[in-house]
């Protein structure tokens, strides 16, 4: 069976080797075991259920949360010659009938369905007449309230399965799973003795960077200028911010779309399509954008504001580089981001207990923005991975674009001030005392008579707060949860003071990373765009950026050589090979 799986991987997908975890997952599914796989975005989850689907006798149902995601997957499958279809609310009655008929006569191997469908008795009746060999639940974290994308319709999956005449093996996939979510997925989907696979969360091709204390707009302009025509997403926290930033970038002449839940559905869809089809280069969006975006050639994801937690961050940032080519994830941190997220938690209708939990997760996100350790290590540890290298060489901490500032004296002043304020106040008030602010609350509490009052008058309040936040991130200080967080000393601060230890803080040196000029890549990209327009599919479904990049390296001009490019299977060779080889030949003739 596994040999057959390998052959399909090569013949249809154009890949020689399975990636880590894929083979084991496919084997588990093929031996009819329930299977739960946690793999990072871009790790190749789809292949894990699509290949078994092709090998098993009947049909595979894939439950997927979003219309756009389904369409994308089905386009991609059809693109490599696999009979697949989807059923969701975008189709009319007649179309659904047509698909179900095709399914009944064995013309469809993989059928994507929206979970809302599962409650329809009629649909259930129709499914009953099919031979369902496998049910795959994509984005399985949507079943859990602890996840960040809870969808009540996912709770329809289990009763639906229970009502089937014959229960096929169930497999569930997600990129995000904390312990709570994993447990929920297994419990709520009622997986039976599942084989559980947790692939490493690491994404080697992603560079992680945190930018603090810089003007965000200045940084953004400088950054996107250096990126040339590369596709990217810029996430902002609010609709208002999205609109403002979008208008700003358009005014500066950048090809930019926007997306948020306040826009009309039609406008949103057009905007999304323009991005998917490479008609606009960048998308400015709230976190409403992205789930279900399979666009593989996103070269950078910038968070203009800090998101609410690491799970959300890693998922959003992880939309960069799905094709495996080098991509960047930049987070622009500003202290206002923290108050906004706190406000959102406070305004939410969450139960008190869940709010506490959200505050805790928010704090971990803030710590990420201040940590001086390897950012990749920080994220991986957050997801429970041990054994991560100290230095990844591909984040803003490890790539040596930092220099170290001695902040020993400032740290001593801050710690001393917190002690004098009896560890009973928040960051803002501590910063005000150190600054020597003459605001009312200071005098009311008599803090103007503390010896630390005005001790850091040469710093701005913002700088002092940054220093405090840094000390929190480094575990010298801690912030207690709740709406009015209090800053307190940790053991590490007491020791540092006693032993007169030095404290250093990393500061970013200006970087000038540029994407190198690549003429052939641009020509291939244009050819891809022409084909995509002709076939009305997104360009990345024709070929990924990484496939084009490989073509620029090996310059294949015959069929055998073209087949060696990762991502070129037999169907794609037939469909597009000549067109791309022609571009390469012409290019070579010119430069040689």
Say if residue 360 is exposed, middle or buried (CB neighbours under 10 Å; 0-12, 13-18, 19+). exposed
We find the least distance from the C-beta atom of residue 524 to ligand ADP, in angstroms, to be 16
Of 37-45, 93-101, 230-238, 467-475, the window that binds ligand ADP (rule: CB under 6 A) is: 37-45
H helices present in 112-200, as ranges: 121-128, 157-163, 179-188
Binders of ligand ADP in range 537-556 (CB under 6 A): 544
Is there a contact between 359 and 345 (Cβ–Cβ < 8 Å)?
A: yes
Residue 212's alpha-carbon distances to 216, 258, 336, 396, 457, in angstroms, are 9, 25, 12, 11, 21
Please tell me the count of residues contacting ligand ADP according to CB under 6 A: 20
CA triple 490-495-500, angle to 5 deg: 130
- Residue number of the CB closest to ligand ADP reads 44
* Cα–Cα distance, 192 to 171 (Å, whole number): 10
3-state class (DSSP) for residue 132 = strand
We find the least distance from the C-beta atom of residue 23 to ligand ADP, in angstroms, to be 9
3-state class (DSSP) for residue 329 = strand
**Greatest CA separation for the chain:** 86
Side-chain-facing half-sphere of 493: CA atoms under 13 Å: 26
Cβ closest to ligand ADP, residue 22 vs residue 287 = 22
Using rule CB under 6 A, residue 19 touches ligand ADP: yes
We find the least distance from the C-beta atom of residue 567 to ligand ADP, in angstroms, to be 6
We find the least distance from the C-beta atom of residue 71 to ligand ADP, in angstroms, to be 14
* Cα–Cα distance, 387 to 383 (Å, whole number): 12
Of 34-42, 203-211, 492-500, 548-556, the window that binds ligand ADP (rule: CB under 6 A) is: 34-42
Cβ closest to ligand ADP, residue 294 vs residue 367 = 294
* Cα–Cα distance, 331 to 304 (Å, whole number): 6
Cβ closest to ligand ADP, residue 224 vs residue 231 = 231
We find the least distance from the C-beta atom of residue 537 to ligand ADP, in angstroms, to be 14
Cβ closest to ligand ADP, residue 46 vs residue 281 = 46
**What's the chain's Rg over C-alpha atoms?**
26
Of 39-47, 112-120, 328-336, 568-576, the window that binds ligand ADP (rule: CB under 6 A) is: 39-47
Question: In this structure, what are the phi and psi dihedrals at residue 25, rounded to the nearest 5 degrees?
Answer: -65, -45
Residue 35's alpha-carbon distances to 10, 173, 185, 201, 391, in angstroms, are 24, 8, 11, 18, 33
We find the least distance from the C-beta atom of residue 8 to ligand ADP, in angstroms, to be 11
DSSP lists the bridge partners of residue 86 as: 112
Binders of ligand ADP in range 317-346 (CB under 6 A): 322-323
Q: One symbol per residue from 43 to 82: x for binding ligand ADP (CB under 6 A), - otherwise; what is it?
A: xxxxx-----------------------------------
We find the least distance from the C-beta atom of residue 50 to ligand ADP, in angstroms, to be 8
State the residues that interact with ligand ADP by CB under 6 A. 13, 15, 17-19, 22, 39, 41-47, 294, 296, 322-323, 544, 566
């Amino acid at each position: 069976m596994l040999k057959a799986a390998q052959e399909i991987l090569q013949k249809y997908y154009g890949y020689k080797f399975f990636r880590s975890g894929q083979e084991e997952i496919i084997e588990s599914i093929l031996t009819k075991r329930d299977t739960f796989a946690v793999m990072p975005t871009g790790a190749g989850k789809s292949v894990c259920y699509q290949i078994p689907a092709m090998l098993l006798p009947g049909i595979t149902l894939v439950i997927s949360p979003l219309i756009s995601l389904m369409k994308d997957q089905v386009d991609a499958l059809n693109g490599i010659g696999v009979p697949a279809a989807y059923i969701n609310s975008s189709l009319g009655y007649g179309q659904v009938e047509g698909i179900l008929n095709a399914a009944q006569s064995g013309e469809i191997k993989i059928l994507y369905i929206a979970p809302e469908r599962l409650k329809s008795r009629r649909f259930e009746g129709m499914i009953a007449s099919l031979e369902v060999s496998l049910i795959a639940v994509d984005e399985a974290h949507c079943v859990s309230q602890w996840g960040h994308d809870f969808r009540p319709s996912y709770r329809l999956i289990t009763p639906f399965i229970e009502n089937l005449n014959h229960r096929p093996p169930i497999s569930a996939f997600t990129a995000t799973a904390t312990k709570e979510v994993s447990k929920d997925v297994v419990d709520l989907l009622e997986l039976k003795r599942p084989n559980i696979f947790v692939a490493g969360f690491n994404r080697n091709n992603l560079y992680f960077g945190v930018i603090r204390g810089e003007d965000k707009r200045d940084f953004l302009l400088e950054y996107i200028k250096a990126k040339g025509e590369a596709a990217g997403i810029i996430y902002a926290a609010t609709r208002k911010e999205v609109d403002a930033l979008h208008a700003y970038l358009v005014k500066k002449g950048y090809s930019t779309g926007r997306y948020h839940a306040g826009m009309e559905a039609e406008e949103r869809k057009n905007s999304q399509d323009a991005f998917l089809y490479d008609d606009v280069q960048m998308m400015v969006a709230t976190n409403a954008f992205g789930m279900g975006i399979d666009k593989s050639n996103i070269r950078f994801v910038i968070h203009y504001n800090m998101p609410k937690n690491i799970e959300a961050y890693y998922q959003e940032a992880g939309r960069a580089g799905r094709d495996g080519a080098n991509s960047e994830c930049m987070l622009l941190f500003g202290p206002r981001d923290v108050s906004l997220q706190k406000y959102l938690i406070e305004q939410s209708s969450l139960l008190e207990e869940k709010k506490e939990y959200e505050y805790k997760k928010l704090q971990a996100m803030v710590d990420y923005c201040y940590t001086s350790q390897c950012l990749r290590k920080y994220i991986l540890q957050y997801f429970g991975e041990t054994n991560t290298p100290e230095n990844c060489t591909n984040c803003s901490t490890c790539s040596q674009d930092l220099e170290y500032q001695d902040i020993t004296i400032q740290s001593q002043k801050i710690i001393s001030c917190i002690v004098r304020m009896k560890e009973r106040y928040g960051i803002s008030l501590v910063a005000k005392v150190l600054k020597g602010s003459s605001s009312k609350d200071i005098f009311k509490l008599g803090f103007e008579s503390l010896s630390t009052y005005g001790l850091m008058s040469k710093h701005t309040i913002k700088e002092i707060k940054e220093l405090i936040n840094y000390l929190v991130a480094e575990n010298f200080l801690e912030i207690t949860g709740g709406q009015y967080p209090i800053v307190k000393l940790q053991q590490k601060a007491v020791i540092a003071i006693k032993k007169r230890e030095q404290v250093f803080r990393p500061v970013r040196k200006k970087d000038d990373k540029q994407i190198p000029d690549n003429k052939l890549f641009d020509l291939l990209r244009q050819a891809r765009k022409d084909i995509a327009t002709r076939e009305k599919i997104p360009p990345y479904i024709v070929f990924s950026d990484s496939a084009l990049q490989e073509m620029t390296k090996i310059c294949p001009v015959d069929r055998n050589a073209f087949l060696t490019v990762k991502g070129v299977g037999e169907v794609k060779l037939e469909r597009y090979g000549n067109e791309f080889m022609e571009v390469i030949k012409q290019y070579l003739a010119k430069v040689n």
